[in-house]
Structure 1
Amino acid sequence: MSHGSPVFKALFDPDKFHEGTTLATESRLEVPFPEDDPYYMSILCSILHMRRDMLPKFTTTTMKEFAKLCDKYDCGLAVKLFLDHNISVSLPNTTETMLKEYLDIVVTLHYAEAVELIANLLVYHSTKALISRLHGRDSLELDALLAMIELTRLRARREIDIHIDSTFDDLSTQGDECSRFDETCKSTIHRTFSLMEQLKEDRLRPKTAEGCSLEDLLRSMKSVRLHDPHGLDDCEYGCEDADGLRQYDAAFYRKADQIRMLVKSTRFSMV
């Protein structure tokens, strides 16, 4: 146990505490831990003694309580492999609520790589504001991370909003130029209407995307198809035909990749 925890190492040091002195002269030592839950302490002892066959299947709640015990005895590194495995097998099917609980756990135990991974997942999969969930926690470190995750999420969604607005502006400008030559030309009007309908259907616009995650929005951007709407033909004054709309499809595709790079470049380092 001394190898896995600096606290236990000091406790069992024959030159520091009574427990260490006793253990140096006797083969058996009983140490009371009245403040600790026996269930979690037995799990900790099993891990430190490599008795993986005695380990239970954790829930998020029990994992959080166990993490607090590990933090108390400074043995996060010794149990990291066990907790990493329990968290990683759950991530593919985890919920947003569970992600937030896992973030709490890995912040408590200072698992930097896991913090980066879970923070990124929260940016992509959160559907509600994380800021509203801060309630003066004991961990300022966790609060700071949640705030950073929320700012990254909002920035990414704002980038989508700006891109959609600029696309609308561009199409509207084309429509204005076309109507100066022929008021009966409906090509750009149809094109703009088609775009607006698709954006509405795909729920791309962040302002109206309640309950829609960033991941959902980015996937919708990748699936935008504006190059084949019905009734778009070149007018005699040079309006772009349906093929001309491919540039907008490509622009949405590229913008989605840029936003992913923006999120990827964000470092959610612990305070």
Structure 2
Amino acid sequence: MATEDADQSSTAVVEIARNGNVILVVGPRERRLQVCSTVLKNASKYFNAMFGPHFSEGQDLRVARPKEVPMPEDDANVLEILCNIIHHRNDAVPETLSGTEVFDVAVAADKFDCVVAIKHASTLWLNPREIQDVIELGHLMATAYILDNAQAFSEITLAMMLRHKESYLPLADEELVPWRTFYLLEERRNHMRAELQQILLDGKIQFGTDDGPECSCSWSSRHSSAYMDLLQREGLEPLKMLSNMTVTEVLEKMERMNDPTIPREWKPCNYRWHRNPDLRIMRKSKLDIFKKGNHGLCIDCIRSSTTDEKQTCRIKH
């Protein structure tokens, strides 16, 4: 998380628990957080041991004279957020955090063994919203993995497939989640692209490949040519789709695209199969099926691939 505020006095006390019997002295700037040891013990196995009878931190705890506990290696901003959540100080918990900040809080929760305590508080933070940056989304994904939030993991990974057009390898370098996750992201995104390409190809197939002896107006070839010209103008040729656009951008173009226009000087003959193809209507129906049929990754399947323990999938797929 971002470095601690330079102007915050090391002697000032952040009163998280008014009658707290412990003051955590956190980080190199020694931010002082007044907390209640009982609340921390109930939420965290780590603090339950620290403030138990077998460690000096748990001895002689009094509200009248709170004991100072040094935590120089921890991030003061992160620990303050964590303590506010554990103490139900919702007025002091930020409504929004960056992906990196959420990840830092999750890592701290994992360290102090209080992941369950922050699950509900983190739900709002794990919403991918309109985040486009894959690194930010990657940190949200890793947070959902640490907190074992199956729904958020699915939604975030779906956003990563829809909004990112380049490689996922920069995320793999950070070792946020198992490597298999990045293979699956690439595989599923390629499958989405192939589905969309097939929908576009189906549009050309609607016109047929041979006008036949009954046709004197070259209906099929003229419509096919006009359709391919339309795809070129929209930038929806297969190679451009793969390299230049995200899946979301392709979807938006396909939804906006009109039917091909035939030059005015051309007139259809009386062949009975000549009719308005209504490609846009058919394409909309297929795109609706595409959207309903594509989901994010299943956290339980990924965990099953990295352990011998069989997982029950919580997300339908």
User: TM-score range with shorter-chain normalisation?
Assistant: 0.7 to 0.9
- Kindly state the Cα deviation for residue 266 of structure 1 after the two structures are TM-superposed: 5.9
- In the alignment, the residues of structure 1 paired with residue 113 and residue 85 of structure 2 have an alpha-carbon distance, to the nearest angstrom, of 14
The match for 1:235 is: 269
Q: Which amino acid aligns with 1:222?
A: E
Give 1:1-271 correspondences, 5 Å limit: 1-14=40-53, 16-20=54-58, 22-23=60-61, 28-55=66-93, 58-88=97-127, 91-97=128-134, 98-130=136-168, 132-141=169-178, 143-173=179-209, 176-178=210-212, 180=213, 185-209=217-241, 210-226=243-259, 229-231=262-264, 233-238=267-272, 240-241=274-275, 243=276, 245-246=277-278, 248-264=279-295, 267-269=298-300, 270-271=302-303
Change (3 A) 1:228 1:205: closer
Q: How far is the alpha carbon of 1:148 from its aligned partner?
A: 1.9
Question: Quick one: percent identity of the two aligned structures?
Answer: 21
Higher relative contact order (CA 8 A, sep 6+): 1
CA displacement at 1:213 relative to structure 2: 1.9
Partners of 2:114 and 2:263 in 1: CA distance: 65
Give, in angstroms, the shift of residue 72 of structure 1. Answer: 0.8
The unaligned stretches of length 5 or more in structure 2 are 1-39, 304-317
Shift of 1:238: 4.0
Give the TM-score, by structure 1 length: 0.78
Of Structure 1 and Structure 2, which has the larger fraction of its residues in helix? 1
Cα distance per residue 1:120-145 (max 9 Å; x no partner): 22222222232x3344433443x333
CA contact (8 A) 2:211 2:220 kept: no
C-alpha deviation, 1:18, in angstroms: 4.2
- Asked if structure 2 preserves the Cα contact closer than 8 Å seen for 1:128 and 1:211, the reply is no
Please tell me the residue identity of whatever aligns with 1:151.
E
Asked whether the 8 Å contact 1:107–1:115 carries over to 2, the reply is: yes
Distance verdict in 2 for CA 1:257–1:59, change over 3 Å? closer
Post-superposition Cα deviations, 1:143-187, rounded to whole Å, max 9, x if no partner, equal: 3333322221110111122333344345351xx233x456x6332
In 1: Cα distance, 2:171 partner to 2:103 partner: 18
Paired residues, number:
258
In structure 2, the CA distance between the partners of 1:255 and 1:268, relative to structure 1 (3 Å rule), is: farther
Structure 1 gap ranges (5+): none
Q: 1:134 to 1:44 in 2, by over 3 A?
A: closer
**Match of 1:153, as an amino acid?**
R
Q: Could you say which structure has the higher strand fraction?
A: 2
Are the equivalent residues in 2 in contact too, given 1:116–1:267 (CA < 8 A)? yes
Deviation at 1:112, TM superposition (A): 2.0
Residue 103 of structure 1 contacts residue 118 of structure 1 at CA under 8 Å; is this kept in 2? yes
Q: Structure 1 residues 252, 140: closer, same or farther in 2, change over 3 A?
A: same
User: Are residues 99 and 207 of structure 1, via their aligned partners in 2, closer, same or farther at CA, if it must alter by over 3 Å?
Assistant: same
Taking a change above 3 Å as real, the CA distance of residues 150 and 166 of structure 1, as seen in their structure-2 partners, is same
**RMSD between superposed Cα atoms in Å:** 3.1
* Residue identity in the other structure for 1:263: N
The answer as to whether partners of 1:46 and 1:52 remain within 8 angstroms in 2 is yes
Letter in 2 for 1:177: D
**Cα distance change, pair 268–219 in 1 and its aligned pair in 2 (3 A):** farther
Quote the Cα distance in structure 1 between the aligned partners of 2:68 and 2:141: 35
